[in-house]
Chains A and B, each alone.
Chain A
């Protein structure tokens, strides 16, 4: 799915649609069960309207206009009502929702949008976290209050310059910004999207270390040694505090 098809980097619709397609795939891979009710209602409304029009067309084609005439007015009225409901559903109820579902870490609803000529992915996440409480043997869980998050990110974060979608930074962005996704996928919660997939300690970040270095161990040894020397020279308690704070 990622980096298999090239898209037009300048087409905002392509950027949005590719991201919109990747998001539910990612979430269902994290075992969020997608709720298709909204989509199903939209499809039902749309196809009923189409069916009415199709039936009228069929009568016209088979039996001619004179026979069709009396059915036309009711058909048009019914179609108009369904169409209004259909448009209302898309514009106000769905309103850009590309995912709605529930997982072990909570309920989630995601709406996305883009503004014309701005290559920025606007995402609104409405979620209700589920906290597993108690010991592992009990299955009790409490739900937190519903929260809404408005996020924005430029598409350049997960698309290469020549138009390939890269899943990793996209997933990292989602996991890092939306808590219940991060809870379901802790490996992708990172400070810096696109860099390593380990969370680093403050010291590692400052010293710009990779994962394998033993510089930290050496640093700890030196600190212990200095504290011992300092503790030997002065009195116990103040030296203990001072050892940590020095520098």
Chain B
């Protein structure tokens, strides 16, 4: 728009906008892919990392699991991920009992689903881990059912979540090498 007539290097607005666009476009695409995944799986957390040994030998620490929340009815044998309110971490265990509460009809005329879970590698069921007075988990507290997994892929994320400084160290190293 403004043509500089000086000999020194002029400020190229369009150049700057183009370069910023390439970065912004990458970020935008990444976020939208993530949003699409959440939408397709109907789950706020479509990808998680297993952090306990309670589901061995099915899942080990460091495995990445893929969830889908589309299946409304939970069956015994499914692996629901239960995330109670005010808890910082969810539980990935197997459903061993599923009941329908006859005394509580939801707005869409279905009965409330009650689920009891237990880790494959645990000796007792999860009742002790449920909030005070609760015997079952509700379907609404399940963020998804495990549909697939990739072994070992989440190890780095486990290491970093324990020691946050490693993440900053890695980012610093990347910044050094890129320019």
- The 8 A CB mask of A23-46 against B (1 = contact, 0 = none) is 000001000011010011011001
Chain A interface (Cβ within 8 Å of chain B)? 1, 28, 33-34, 36, 39-40, 42-43, 46-47, 49-50, 52-54, 56-57, 60, 65, 68-69, 72-73, 75-76, 79, 83
B38 interface residue, CB < 8 Å from A?
A: yes
A57–B29 alpha-carbon span in the complex (Å):
11
- The 8 A CB mask of B1-22 against A (1 = contact, 0 = none) is 1010000010000100110010
On whether the beta carbons of A43 and B35 are closer than 8 Å, the reply is no
Residues of B within 8 A of A53 (CB): 27-29, 31-32
26 contacts between A and B (CB under 8 A): A28-B3, A33-B3, A39-B14, A43-B18, A46-B21, A46-B24, A46-B25, A47-B17, A47-B21, A47-B24, A50-B27, A53-B27, A53-B29, A53-B31, A54-B28, A65-B38, A65-B44, A68-B35, A72-B35, A72-B36, A72-B38, A73-B39, A75-B35, A76-B35, A79-B28, A79-B32
| Interchain nearest-CB distance for A82 vs B (Å) | 10
A61–B23 alpha-carbon span in the complex (Å):
20
On whether the beta carbons of A72 and B39 are closer than 8 Å, the reply is yes
| Interchain nearest-CB distance for A93 vs B (Å) | 15
Q: Specify which of A33, A34, A39, A56 is in contact with B31 (CB 8 Å cutoff).
A: A56
Residues of B within 8 A of A65 (CB): 38, 44
On whether the beta carbons of A49 and B36 are closer than 8 Å, the reply is no
On whether the beta carbons of B17 and A56 are closer than 8 Å, the reply is no
Residues of B within 8 A of A28 (CB): 3
A40–B29 alpha-carbon span in the complex (Å):
21
Residues of A within 8 A of B44 (CB): 65
| Interchain nearest-CB distance for A208 vs B (Å) | 35
> Max chain A CB contacts within 10 Å: which of B14, B17, B21, B35?
B35
Question: Beyond A43-B17, A46-B25, A69-B39, is A1–B9 a contact (Cβ under 8 Å)?
Answer: yes
Residues of A within 8 A of B35 (CB): 56-57, 60, 68, 72, 75-76
| Interchain nearest-CB distance for B62 vs A (Å) | 26
On whether the beta carbons of B39 and A49 are closer than 8 Å, the reply is no
A180–B99 alpha-carbon span in the complex (Å):
83
A104–B137 alpha-carbon span in the complex (Å):
79
Residues of B within 8 A of A68 (CB): 35
Closest 3 CB pairs of A and B: A53-B28, A72-B39, A50-B28
Q: Specify which of B9, B14, B25, B38 is in contact with A49 (CB 8 Å cutoff).
A: B25
> Max chain B CB contacts within 10 Å: which of A28, A49, A50?
A50
A1–B9 alpha-carbon span in the complex (Å):
7
Residues of B within 8 A of A83 (CB): 29
Residues of B within 8 A of A75 (CB): 32, 35
On whether the beta carbons of A43 and B3 are closer than 8 Å, the reply is no
| Interchain nearest-CB distance for B81 vs A (Å) | 15
| Interchain nearest-CB distance for B80 vs A (Å) | 18
Residues of A within 8 A of B3 (CB): 28, 33-34
On whether the beta carbons of B39 and A76 are closer than 8 Å, the reply is yes
Q: Which residue of A lies closest to B39 (CB)?
A: A72
Residues of B within 8 A of A52 (CB): 28
| Interchain nearest-CB distance for A53 vs B (Å) | 4
- The 8 A CB mask of B26-52 against A (1 = contact, 0 = none) is 011101100110110000100000000
Residues of A within 8 A of B9 (CB): 1
| Interchain nearest-CB distance for A193 vs B (Å) | 23
